[in-house]
A and B are shown apart, each in its own frame.
Chain A
Amino acid sequence: MTKLTSLTIKEALDGLKKKEFTATELTEAHIKASEAAQHLNCYITETYDHARAQAKESDARYAKGEAKLLDGVPIAMKDLYCTEGIRTTAGSKILENFKPPYESTVSGNMFRDGAIMLGKANLDEFAMGSSNTTSAYGNVINPWQRKGDNKPLVPGGSSGGSAAAVAARIAMGATGTDTGGSIRQPAAFCGITGIKPTYGRCSRFGIIAFASSLDQAGPFARTVEDCALLLQSMAGYDPKDSTSVNRPVPEYFKSVGQSVKGLKVGVPKEYRVDGANPEITALWDKGVEMMKAAGAEIVDVSLPHTKYALQTYYVIAPAECSSNLARYDGVRFGLRVEGGNLNDTYEATRAAGFGKEVKRRILIGTYVLSAGYYDAYYNKARRVRKLIWQDFINAYEKCDVLLTPTAPTPAFAIGENEQDPVTMYLNDIFTVPASMAGMPGISLPVGLSGDGLPLGLQLLGRPFDEETVFKAASALEKAASFTHLPQSLMNKAA
């Protein structure tokens, strides 16, 4: 029998239905794998007992023939999702002991559908980062390594723990959140698939906010079909989120495997940046050929404001974050560091509770919103955002999806790109534009770099047209047939 931890979610659900194994067995196998992979630091909080209890309930449902969509599937939950009664830290010291008295809508949806939570996955503090090195709970190690080099690599971020857990086969799927690329970039770095759906598709209720107008929940898995199954459960209208859109959730898995004959795939010329990594460019060209070979029509398109997306992002996201993070004041929950008076207490608490990157973003955000700079920065960025959005709308007149690289480089080593914040920010150059425009985007592994690291391509779609994104992604997935495993797993298999 294949190892339970190498199954896809689809295969696992079939096996459970056929009683080839139980949810408890599947869960125990993943707990065992997690324990063996502790050095990767994927979890901030392990919730094995919780998982075992859930598995028991799941087995009972299978016994009664009442299994749900994701019944018995062990997953990792990004520690940005509030889970009732279970510590939720957002990767920050300021929430070290916070136990929410409520459940996030999306985690609740997944539990409703029988998913089993193995642990709260590590992440960049408050989802601010592209390497998972800003977590107050230590960095996550990417299960992949460069050929002939055992320097630990970053898993990407911010959903680094989630992506690494899925890549390391210690969870079958995981939740992430994507504000500027936090699902797609780590998916690319870890050689797995991750989708950021359209803004408004998944409820933000109970997910700790970073930048409210951008944050969007989405899943990681090892196949496009598994992502479709997970998103099916996560998505849906929530009256508790005023930006949740009330439209039915299609059966996404039905899009998987459908023909892309005649599908118009746009290739935006602005993503060919000066000094780009030639391996990435070559992979992109290969992806274009694969789509063409699958029957898609390739269309050259232009998204003229692409080069301003990152700048726009680094005004709007910090502005919103500076306000969203004002609630961490040591009054009602979280860390408090006593000072001589109230203001000292505020300042000491926030100085001790937030890490460097979070502080930088709060300060930038505070600055761009402050009197005298509001129009020059914040309103200017909101205007440019409109232009970026308009670019996408215009492009979708000519094509159905866009194909681009996910990240400008493969995974880098821990400690690299740390010399200056802006260098790190450049990691999100290809993912940020779709975030600004609220468009859905998926990243999937398409090839390896020369030194053996996974490289991902990104497919972007029209608002609420995740079905076409899944369809195109499954065609690309089939053509790429990416079966490489992280070295750590290959070593074990050997």
Chain B
Amino acid sequence: MAHALLKGETGDWEMVIGLEVHAQILTKSKLFSGASAAFGAAPNTQVSPIDAGFPGMLPVINTLCIEKAVRTGLGLNAKINLYSVFERKNYFYPDLPQGYQISQYQHPIVGEGEIEIDLPDGSTKAIGIERLHVEQDAGKSLHDQHPAKSYVDLNRSGNPLMEIVSKPHMNSAEEAAAYVTKLRAIVRYLDTCDGNMDEGSMRCDVNVSVRKPGDALGTRCEIKNVNSVRFVQQAIEYEARRQIEVIEGGGTIKQETRLFDTKNGTTRAMRSKEDAHDYRYFPDPDLLPLKLEQGFVDNIKSTLPELPDAKKKRFIALGLSSYDAGVLVAEKERAAFFEKVSNNNDPKMAANWVTTELAGALNKTGKSLDESPVSAEQLGGLLKLIADNTISGKIAKDVFAEMFASGKDAATIVEGKGLKQVTDTGAIEKIVDEVLAENPDKIAEYKSGKDKLFGFFVGQTLKKSGGKANPAIVNDLLKKKLSS
């Protein structure tokens, strides 16, 4: 896709965007303590003295965090560093209990990689990954509980995060959105992060700068904690416009940290970040360097699941359109659902039913796929009834509606309501004859050249059969009788 350029008063502008995505590693306990890492508990109930930075408390690393960071690195086609170091990033903040965040700085566990993003026009683009490192999350400060006070909850303090840093390879809000979407799909496929942006399991810091095409990189601003794909797009669009206006108005961009206001879609400079920071990183003396064996990495590599891009290619090879395949693989659960439905069924038909009938019904009732009253096996059962001519495609839609409402199997509904397709030629011929006898005038019109009336006879016959007559047999019989 060609670069989306922004029009300014002085000509075209190009955006340069890089993202730092914080993804919470899917674990039961925290990175360095045995307290629960689950979301949504009462304040300070999931806090160990370690997470609260109590005197004399020491960190011990959660082995699963290392494994999942490596797994994610492999999923990003990135270099795994067999030697990495945890360092302390020192700064004061009420929700940072130790006065430092344990992170990785000079020696991250994962180095450079690359992923492919899918753009709305069907094209793809490679986006470089700079690094992935493991670090602790901070607690949460609530500023709206009291006019003069902030309230601090440390439940989140010490939760395991992967910070995934992209290269500044994106040039539009759409690309950034596609990048976040793809990253989310990958970590969900890998089971290393639940990707739940509403709960903050994935949060984005967006770096935006603008320049005239061909110029050197402009000064960037970092927009912190943008927590949905839509907000990422809005924030970038607003911020790029703001920067262009500043520059075209004769000003210069100050490198700064900004906040995105979800209410009005704007960004503003963070006051608390005005002080120049000096994080004084140094290797955490409470932890030793992390050394991994190549065999450990190879083992993880051998258990990696099929990732969205590979799956999409395979689905296309099954005969699906690129679009359908893309829709199906975007969510791990949807792809898995589709694969179950298409088991012994025509993949194209299965894709159609999953992406249109089922998706439509779920959408209408506000349900998610995992709440679907119709299971993948049940939908597969319905498709089998169509395939073996037990019911027609038309009846199938009614059966599906019934399934969706009652949760019953297709076969049970078809049996109970006697919806089984009539394929007995004699019985159908009787109905055809009745229809023809009732409509002599229409026959005359048809024979005088109004070919379109053929559909009318088919419809009447199907209607009279209660929709159960096999349409192919009806067609055959009508053709034969009307041409005689």
Direct interface between A and B, CB < 8 A: yes
Interface of A with B (CB < 8 Å)?
81-82, 88, 90, 95, 98, 100-102, 104, 204-209, 211-213, 239-243, 319-320, 322-323, 325-327, 329, 331-333, 342, 346, 366, 369-371, 374, 378
Residues of chain B lying within 8 A (CB to CB) of residue A371:
278, 280
| Cα separation A383 to B121 with both chains bound (whole Å) | 55
Residues of chain B lying within 8 A (CB to CB) of residue A378:
282
- Contact, CB under 8 Å: B99 / A242: no
Q: Interface stretch among B180-188, B284-292, B355-363, B436-444?
A: B284-292
Which residue of A has the minimal Cβ distance to B33? A240
Residues of chain B lying within 8 A (CB to CB) of residue A329:
92, 94, 99
Given contacts A213-B285, A323-B88, A329-B92, contact A240 B97 (CB under 8 A): no
- Contact, CB under 8 Å: A369 / B280: yes
- Contacting residue for B59 out of A207, A242, A326, CB 8 A: A242
Residues of chain B lying within 8 A (CB to CB) of residue A239:
60
Shortest Cβ distance from B387 into chain A, in angstroms? 59
Q: Give the residues from 252 to 266 in chain B that come closer than 8 angstroms, CB to CB, to chain A.
A: none
- Contact, CB under 8 Å: B278 / A327: no
| Cα separation A211 to B285 with both chains bound (whole Å) | 8
- Contacting residue for A370 out of B52, B57, B278, B287, CB 8 A: B278
Q: What per-residue 1/0 map shows which CB atoms of B39-64 lie under 8 Å from chain A?
A: 00000000001001111111111000
Q: B421 near A: Cβ within 8 Å?
A: no
Shortest Cβ distance from A292 into chain B, in angstroms? 40
Residues of chain A lying within 8 A (CB to CB) of residue B57:
102, 205-206
- Contact, CB under 8 Å: B52 / A209: no
Which residue of B has the minimal Cβ distance to A244? B58
Given contacts A213-B285, A329-B92, contact A323 B58 (CB under 8 A): no
| Cα separation A333 to B47 with both chains bound (whole Å) | 14
Shortest Cβ distance from A307 into chain B, in angstroms? 24
The A interface, classified by DSSP as helix, strand, loop or mixed, is loop
Q: B77 near A: Cβ within 8 Å?
A: no
- Contact, CB under 8 Å: B282 / A242: no
| Cα separation A347 to B88 with both chains bound (whole Å) | 21
- Contacting residue for A243 out of B56, B61, B90, B288, CB 8 A: B288
- Contacting residue for B60 out of A240, A366, A370, CB 8 A: A240
Shortest Cβ distance from B413 into chain A, in angstroms? 58
Q: B152 near A: Cβ within 8 Å?
A: yes
Q: B267 near A: Cβ within 8 Å?
A: no
Q: Give the residues from 371 to 426 in chain B that come closer than 8 angstroms, CB to CB, to chain A.
A: none
Shortest Cβ distance from B90 into chain A, in angstroms? 5
Residues of chain A lying within 8 A (CB to CB) of residue B287:
242-243
Residues of chain B lying within 8 A (CB to CB) of residue A342:
94, 150
Q: B98 near A: Cβ within 8 Å?
A: yes
- Contact, CB under 8 Å: A100 / B56: yes
- Contact, CB under 8 Å: A88 / B152: no
- Contact, CB under 8 Å: A205 / B52: no
Given contacts A239-B60, A331-B94, A332-B97, contact A212 B55 (CB under 8 A): no
Residues of chain B lying within 8 A (CB to CB) of residue A326:
90, 92, 98-100
Q: Give the residues from 119 to 167 in chain B that come closer than 8 angstroms, CB to CB, to chain A.
A: 150, 152
Q: What per-residue 1/0 map shows which CB atoms of B56-74 lie under 8 Å from chain A?
A: 1111110000000000000
Which residue of B has the minimal Cβ distance to A333? B54
Given contacts A212-B286, A346-B92, contact A327 B152 (CB under 8 A): no
Shortest Cβ distance from B152 into chain A, in angstroms? 7
- Contact, CB under 8 Å: A100 / B90: no
Residues of chain B lying within 8 A (CB to CB) of residue A370:
278, 280
Interface of B with A (CB < 8 Å)?
49, 52-61, 88, 90, 92, 94, 97-100, 150, 152, 278, 280-282, 285-288
Given contacts A82-B55, A326-B99, contact A212 B280 (CB under 8 A): no
- Contacting residue for A332 out of B54, B60, B150, B282, CB 8 A: B54
Report which residue of B58, B100, B286 has the largest number of chain A beta carbons within 10 angstroms of its beta carbon.
Answer: B58
Residues of chain B lying within 8 A (CB to CB) of residue A82:
55-56
- Contacting residue for A207 out of B56, B60, B61, B280, CB 8 A: B56
| Cα separation A402 to B124 with both chains bound (whole Å) | 68
- Contact, CB under 8 Å: B278 / A208: no
Given contacts A346-B92, A369-B280, contact A212 B97 (CB under 8 A): no
- Contacting residue for B286 out of A100, A101, A242, A369, CB 8 A: A242
Which residue of A has the minimal Cβ distance to B95? A331
Residues of chain B lying within 8 A (CB to CB) of residue A101:
49, 54
Residues of chain B lying within 8 A (CB to CB) of residue A212:
285-286
- Contact, CB under 8 Å: A242 / B60: yes
- Contact, CB under 8 Å: A327 / B98: yes
Given contacts A101-B49, A239-B60, contact A209 B55 (CB under 8 A): yes
- Contact, CB under 8 Å: A102 / B285: no
- Contact, CB under 8 Å: B58 / A102: no
Shortest Cβ distance from B178 into chain A, in angstroms? 36
Residues of chain A lying within 8 A (CB to CB) of residue B52:
332
Given contacts A82-B56, A242-B58, A242-B287, contact A319 B282 (CB under 8 A): yes
Shortest Cβ distance from A384 into chain B, in angstroms? 16
Which residue of A has the minimal Cβ distance to B59? A242
Would you mind naming 22 contact pairs between A and B with Cβ atoms under 8 Å apart?
A: A82-B55, A82-B56, A100-B49, A100-B54, A101-B54, A204-B56, A205-B56, A207-B56, A209-B55, A240-B58, A242-B61, A243-B287, A322-B280, A323-B99, A327-B53, A327-B55, A329-B99, A331-B94, A342-B150, A366-B280, A369-B282, A378-B282
- Contact, CB under 8 Å: B49 / A102: yes
Residues of chain B lying within 8 A (CB to CB) of residue A333:
54-55
- Contact, CB under 8 Å: A102 / B54: yes
| Cα separation A206 to B56 with both chains bound (whole Å) | 4
Shortest Cβ distance from A176 into chain B, in angstroms? 15
- Contact, CB under 8 Å: A332 / B53: yes
| Cα separation A370 to B281 with both chains bound (whole Å) | 8
Residues of chain A lying within 8 A (CB to CB) of residue B150:
342
Which residue of A has the minimal Cβ distance to B282? A369
Which residue of B has the minimal Cβ distance to A212? B285
- Contact, CB under 8 Å: B55 / A208: yes
Report which residue of B55, B98, B286 has the largest number of chain A beta carbons within 10 angstroms of its beta carbon.
Answer: B55
Given contacts A102-B49, A243-B288, A366-B280, contact A327 B58 (CB under 8 A): no
Which residue of B has the minimal Cβ distance to A347? B92
Q: Other than the known A102-B49, A243-B286, what 16 A-B pairs have Cβ atoms closer than 8 Å?
A: A81-B56, A95-B55, A100-B49, A102-B54, A206-B56, A208-B55, A209-B286, A212-B286, A241-B58, A320-B285, A323-B100, A325-B99, A326-B90, A327-B54, A332-B53, A374-B282
- Contact, CB under 8 Å: B53 / A104: no
| Cα separation A205 to B100 with both chains bound (whole Å) | 18
| Cα separation A316 to B56 with both chains bound (whole Å) | 19
Which residue of B has the minimal Cβ distance to A95? B55
| Cα separation A242 to B58 with both chains bound (whole Å) | 8
Shortest Cβ distance from B274 into chain A, in angstroms? 12
Shortest Cβ distance from A246 into chain B, in angstroms? 13
- Contact, CB under 8 Å: B97 / A327: yes
Shortest Cβ distance from B57 into chain A, in angstroms? 8
Residues of chain A lying within 8 A (CB to CB) of residue B92:
326, 329, 346
Report which residue of B90, B150, B282 has the largest number of chain A beta carbons within 10 angstroms of its beta carbon.
Answer: B282
Which residue of B has the minimal Cβ distance to A350? B92
9 closest A-B pairs (Cβ-Cβ)?
A326-B99, A369-B280, A213-B285, A212-B285, A327-B53, A208-B55, A206-B56, A208-B56, A82-B56
Report which residue of A322, A331, A342 has the largest number of chain B beta carbons within 10 angstroms of its beta carbon.
Answer: A331
| Cα separation A95 to B55 with both chains bound (whole Å) | 10
